[in-house]
Amino acid sequence: MSSTPQHYDAIIIGAGFGGIRALHEFRKIGLKAHVFEAGTDVGGTWYWNRYPGARTDSEAWCYCYKFDEELLQTWDWKERMPSWKEVFAYLRHVVDKHDLRRDIEFQTRIKSAHFDADAKLWRVTPENGVTYTCQYLISASGVLTVPYMPPFPGLETFKGEVYRSSSWPRHEVNFAGKRVAIVGTGATGVQIIPVVAQVAKHLTVFQRTPNYVMPGRNHFIEEEQRAGIRANYDEMWNWTRTNPFAFPMAPCNQMFDDYTPEQQQRIFDGGWEVGGFRFIFETFADMLVNPGCNEAAAEYIRNKIRAVVKDPKTAELLSPHYQFGLKRPPLGHFYYETFNRSNVSLVSVKDTPIERITPTGVVVDGKEHAADIIIFATGFDGGTGALTSIDLRGREGRLMKDAWADGPRTHMGITVDGFPNLFMISGPQTPFANIPIIIDSVVDWISAVVQKARRDGESVIEATPEGVEGWVQHVQKLFSMTVMDKGDHSVHSWLMGNNIPGKTRSVLFYFGGAPMYFQELDESVDMGFPGFTFTKSTAKPGKTATAT
């Protein structure tokens, strides 16, 4: 057996939306790329999060790839917000249609990746212990990959069934006639609760912080609408370039203070009725920066909760009182209505946290809530978790975990100084926006910089510390303009990382809007990649050509 490790031009971690798009691109530009995927199939988020009620919060026709025009004209999306099954089937189809599966190695979780500065390559080792080498390392392991599980005492003594939303089993879970407990009321819990409530004997919801849940208003896509979507893709892609959240919606230019209170209500009504994120995107452009507008939106939603939930005490417990947008607002389908059911009870664990789990239930404030099944939907170490949870080392053995101890530091959300030839897809400090669209532009940028380096005979591409410092300052400044920065810092939000005990609250996303980000990517290419160094293949390590 040869002792020389298998070498690839590029190793891609993860076979979700980002990894698949990157593999397709690298093949296109003639690179030998290989994907390592922990699951048994492609899908990423849509492989793992197969819990009851799991569906996208984005509309199907823009939560997909742009690169395959034929597929856009032939794939039949069934629902406005597709279920996990539909997205999973779509991604499997893309992979098979483009014969990508042969370059994806499944059930292979990456344990470590070390940059070898002398050899100018990455040494990548999965959990199976076999080491591979590559020139370019692409992290496509997603925004929400590493689940967070609070250490509830006594969990190991529980005699019933335990499920985690982020690693839902492949078999059907039978809730009929069972007493079910669910911990967590984020976007995931909000999707699970109405579905399980319909079949469970009793559902007890343990809520720490209420969310502003907007109506999803999912529906089947009729043939006529489908034909309209297919005829308008070019226009839609153009809109995704001008919408702050990269959705195909005409830009909203309405400023809250330009309207009378009656007009403001009517505009909010319009956004609420049409459903989905349109309550944010199609009402007022200044909702996340104008405190008056933000509070009016928050009060509008609280009034909706009061109108739906019959028990005033439950309605009040479900009503948030922090800035709208501080936590990522979930979309619900009959979420608030579910709390009017006689088989559903809400237990607030805000002031009286879960004390322990017993063999037969969950104890809060000295009282046991009996359960046959417990579901944990307790969130993720978002943004940075995927990279800080593995042994990822750049120059001089520096760990990414240490480099980001006080929060992520990136250049354009794609690269990190001291970690040459590492490119992140959906990395921290990229826009908080429609993910497949951002992925598309990021992969195009990575492709452009790699092609430039290969054309010029340069083997190492690296962000400069100045480039990174500039980007960090930039994203911080953008964040400081939002209500999130001024908002209540005690409210946990994976958007800022403070949902994880001990994690520094920091700016994990770029809040300048997708159009400005796209422009910055385009300018970077046009200007020859400022803020990066390029090392010639023949040059001694450390000897670099600087793009200024």
Residues 13 and 79 sit within 8 Å (Cβ to Cβ) = no
Comparison of 193 and 449: residue with beta carbon closer to ligand NA7: 193
Q: What is the distance of C-alpha 47 from the center of its chain?
A: 14
Of 348-377, binders to ligand NA7 (CB under 6 A) are: 349, 354, 377
The pattern of x and - marking residues 127 through 166 that bind ligand NA7 according to CB under 6 A reads -----------------x-----x----------------
Q: What is the spatial distance between Cα 2 and Cα 10, in angstroms, rounded to a whole number?
A: 21
Cβ atoms < 10 Å from Cβ of 206: 24
CB of 183 to ligand NA7, least distance (A): 5
Report the sign of the C-alpha dihedral through residues 511, 512, 516, 520, in that order: negative
Nearest approach in angstroms of CB 376 to ligand NA7 is 8
Cβ of residue 362: shortest distance to ligand NA7, in angstroms? Answer: 10
Binding mask 459-478 for ligand NA7 (x = CB under 6 A): --------------------
> Minimum Å distance from CB 60 to ligand NA7?
16
Does position 430 bind ligand NA7 by CB under 6 A?
no
Binding string, residues 487-526; x marks residues near ligand NA7 by CB under 6 A: -----x-x----x---------------------------
* CB nearer to ligand NA7: pick between 90 and 380: 380
Tell me, letter by letter, the H, E, C secondary structure of 160-200.
CEEEEHHHCCCCCCCCECCEEEEECCCHHHHHHHHHHHCCE
Amino acid letter, 467 = G
DSSP annotation of 540 reads P
Residue whose CB is less far from ligand NA7, 354 or 521: 354
For 493, the 3-state DSSP assignment is coil
Range 304-336 burial, b when 16+ CB lie within 10 A, else e: bbeebbeeeebbebbbbebbbbbbbbbbbbbbb
Binding of ligand NA7 by 184 (CB under 6 A)? yes
Q: Considering the rule CB under 6 A, would residue 91 count as an interface residue with ligand NA7?
A: no
Residues near 385 by beta carbon (within 8 Å), at least 6 away in sequence? 145, 146, 500
Asked if 424 and 139 count as a contact pair (C-beta separation under 8 A), the reply is: yes
- Is 280 a binder of ligand NA7 (CB under 6 A)? no
Which parts of 237-323 are beta strand (E)? none
Place of tokens 């005492």: 153
- Provide the H-helix boundaries in 319-403: 335-338, 385-388, 400-403
> Does 188 help bind ligand NA7 (rule: CB under 6 A)?
yes
376-406 core/surface letters (b: 16 or more CB in 10 A; e: else): bbbbbbbbbbbbbebebbbeeebebeebbee
Residue with tokens 């410092």: 469
If we measure between CA atoms, which residue out of 215, 442, 231, 219 comes closest to residue 331? 215
> Judged by CB under 6 A, does residue 18 bind ligand NA7?
no
Q: Which two tokens stand for residue 85?
A: 């099954």
Contact region with ligand NA7 (CB under 6 A), list: 182-190, 247-255, 449-457, 482-490: 182-190
For residue 69, the minimal CB distance to ligand NA7 (Å) is 28
Among 10, 113, 181, 183, interactor with ligand NA7 by CB under 6 A = 183
Of the pair 211, 421, the CB lying nearest ligand NA7 is at 211
Cα–Cα dist 314/301, whole Å: 15
Piece in contact with ligand NA7 (CB under 6 A), picked from 179-187, 340-348, 362-370, 405-413 = 179-187
Build a one-symbol-per-residue string for 201-230: x at contacts with ligand NA7 by CB under 6 A, - elsewhere. Answer: -----x-xx---------------------
Identity of the residue, 26 or 494, whose beta carbon is nearer to ligand NA7 in the bound complex: 494
Say whether residue 186 binds ligand NA7 (CB under 6 A): yes
User: Does 379 participate in binding ligand NA7 (rule CB under 6 A)?
Assistant: yes
11 or 326: CB nearest ligand NA7: 326
* Least distance CB 515 / ligand NA7 (angstroms): 21
User: How far apart (Å, rounded) are the C-alpha atoms in residues 188 and 499?
Assistant: 15
- Positions in the binding site for ligand NA7 (CB under 6 A): 144, 150, 183-189, 206, 208-209, 328, 349, 354, 377-380, 492, 494, 499
